[in-house]
Structure 1
Amino acid sequence: MRLMTDQPDLRHGESRSVDHSSSVVVDLREYKQSKDPLPVTFHRRELDAILWIYGRMVGDGEWRDYAIDHLKDRAVFSVFKRSGEIPLFRIEKNPKLAAKQGAYSVISVNGTILKRGHELNQVLKVFDKALKLVDK
């Protein structure tokens, strides 16, 4: 068996010196932890709950488009009245806030947190009320 290397072949009787000073043993667990963390995502049940609300609001003619962003620190489901506009609402999941105010929040177009909590279904109840964008 022959290994492919980027070094030239050795002639018979030659040996290659190995520089042990540059050899490093790496703990794979530490290596994996030092890599960029995976982005925060919505789980299937969370998406089901969000998409149920989205479907209802689309049926009412309130929403027409959405976007999902999975970022390093949070997951964001943004809803739009028309494509290309700023989102009417953002449903966010921020695990760093889970032990404090709650990981889930609904944020309005102007950045106001309408509801925050530990349970997504409770936070989504903010849409049970007829929330509509008011033009100034």
Structure 2
Amino acid sequence: MAAGPQIAKRAPVMVMWNRRELSEILNVYGRYVAMGEWKDYAIDGLATNAVFSIFRRASEVPMFAIVKTPADAQRQGMYKVVAVDGQVLKRGHELPQVLRVFEKKRFSVVD
């Protein structure tokens, strides 16, 4: 029996943060760590999006998630900030504009 053409399987391409994006996110994160409001973070690279999760304590669920979804780039924008309850707080095409949701005058953490 003749072998058919072999189809090369590609490993799934993961979406991840680039250096510029991480720098912008970590600048905001660092300010809130200095204020004692945020304690930990996690970075996930998935098949469809990249997620930067922000925790008040490491043992809790994330307070916020900053999500990068390249498939949404032509629609609502590639970036969004999601609260713990799943509510989208800000969405847009540019990461610095989306991160403005964390400006102290517009946002405060309530216990």
Same fold (TM over 0.5): yes
- 2:109 matched residue in structure 1: 133
Which of 95, 105, 108 aligns to 2:83? It is: 108
Gaps of 5+ in 1: 1-18
Q: CA deviation at 1:40?
A: 0.6
- The equivalent of 2:4 in structure 1 is 24
* 1:52 CA displacement: 0.7
Q: Deviations over 1:92-133 (max 9, x none)?
A: 000111000001000111111110000001100111135333
- Deviation for aligned residue 1:62: 1.0
- C-alpha contact (below 8 Å) 1:78/1:90 kept by paired residues: yes
Find the aligned partners of 1:109 and 1:134 in 2 and give their Cα distance: 13
Bigger fraction of residues in strand:
2
Amino acid at match of 1:24: G
**What are structure 2's unaligned runs of at least 5 residues?**
none
Whole-Å Cα distance in 2 between the matches of residues 106 and 127 of structure 1? 9
Identity of aligned residues (%): 50
| Residues paired across the two proteins, number | 110
SS in structure 1 of the partner of residue 91 of structure 2: strand
Which of 1 and 2 has greater Rg?
A: 1
Identify the structure with bigger relative contact order (alpha carbons < 8 Å, sequence gap 6+).
2
SS in 2 for 1:73: coil
1:51 is paired with a residue of what secondary structure?
Answer: helix
Deviates more, 1:80-89 or 1:122-131: 122-131
Aligned-pair CA distance for 1:84: 1.2
Report the aligned-residue RMSD: 1.5
